[in-house]
Amino acid sequence: MLGTYFYHEIIRRTIVAFGTLFNNIHVQHRDNDGNVVDDIKVPLAYAPMQKFLAKIQQQADLSKPVAITLPRMSFEMTGISYDPTRKTTATKTFKAVATSGGDIRQVYLPVPYNINFQLGLYVKLNDDALQVTEQILPYFQPSFNLTVDLVSSIGEKKDIPVVLNGISMQDDYEGDFSSRRSLIYTFDFTAKTYLFGPVADSSEGLIRKVQVDYYSDTDTSTAKREVRYTAVPDPIDADPSDDFGFSETIEFFQDSKTYSPTQQKDI
């Protein structure tokens, strides 16, 4: 249990996937005739909002080479919490084929967790903020699904809903003429991701034969088999990633025997 090293980079992958949602947003400025005179790709960085605010307040003169340029966006992970509404059976496992080698791996069902994100938008002009906001809001109703490769070793991909919880606005316009105006939009999101435990080699191997016995007697305690259905992959040594079919066999019996799974014969 605890102490077995594993690291699927799920939280890191979720953070990267969230950031890619907002890495291609543009702001345009037009002249009186409606012609585009300036097209700016809004920079995006992973950083706390407080650092950007301190940078804006300490470097009020944007003509300096070290000044921060606006508009700009930043995002950060603000918390992780368990989601009981998506709870599954804790002891249930499933089998998957490893992406390298084709071996069968056994994994416990994932545990649902919510990751909270905060996206900050910093602008000098309110119209810039409205342009960015309108490029974000239509995609969230109130969620947007991201397909993330959570466990690459078994090719486990899941759709992660990213929910927009709310938007707040802050306009720090008060102060003397040397103070710079800070127009800030804050977007709060929740990503409903899953965390996987260690991936282990399957001890049971592949199921290469399925056998089902049918009976018509309503007394299940004394009923004897009458029809047996058997299915095996064709060819028998096929791997899960192969293109294969099945060989099916139907047998009829009147000997009143029962198949014993422990002895693997009819008794």
Q: What is the pLDDT of residue 204?
A: 53
Q: Residue 156 in contact with residue 96, Cβ under 8 Å?
A: yes
Residue 2 lies in a domain: no
Residue 214 lies in a domain: yes
- pTM value? 0.68
Same domain, 249 and 182: no
Same domain, 227 and 101: no
Length of the chain equals 267
Which of 201, 219, 243 terminates a domain? The answer is 201
Q: Residue 27 in contact with residue 40, Cβ under 8 Å?
A: yes
Strand bridging mode 44-46 / 72-82: parallel
Q: Would residue 34 be called left, alpha or beta, if left means φ above 0 and alpha means ψ between -120 and 50 degrees?
A: left
Structurally, how many domains does the chain consist of? 2
State the CATH number of the domain containing residue 83: 3.30.2000.40
Which of 201, 220, 251 terminates a domain? The answer is 201
Same domain, 214 and 191: no
Q: What is the pLDDT of residue 198?
A: 87
Give the chain's residues under pLDDT 50: 62-63, 65-67, 203
Q: What is the pLDDT of residue 176?
A: 55
Same domain, 193 and 144: yes
Parent domain of 193: 10-201
Same domain, 113 and 52: yes
CA 208 centroid distance within chain: 32
CA 6 centroid distance within chain: 18
pLDDT tens-digit readout, 224-256:
778 889 998 888 877 766 788 888 988 888 777
Same domain, 62 and 17: yes
b/e per residue, 106-141, with b = 16+ CB within 10 A? bbbbbbbbbbebbbbbbbeeeebbebbeeebeeebe
Which of 159, 182, 201 terminates a domain? The answer is 201
Look at the block and give the residue holding tokens 């009143």. Answer: 256
Q: Residue 38 in contact with residue 28, Cβ under 8 Å?
A: yes
Residue 34 lies in a domain: yes
Distance between CA 160 and CA 193 in Å, rounded? 5
Look at the block and give the residue holding tokens 């290469």. Answer: 208
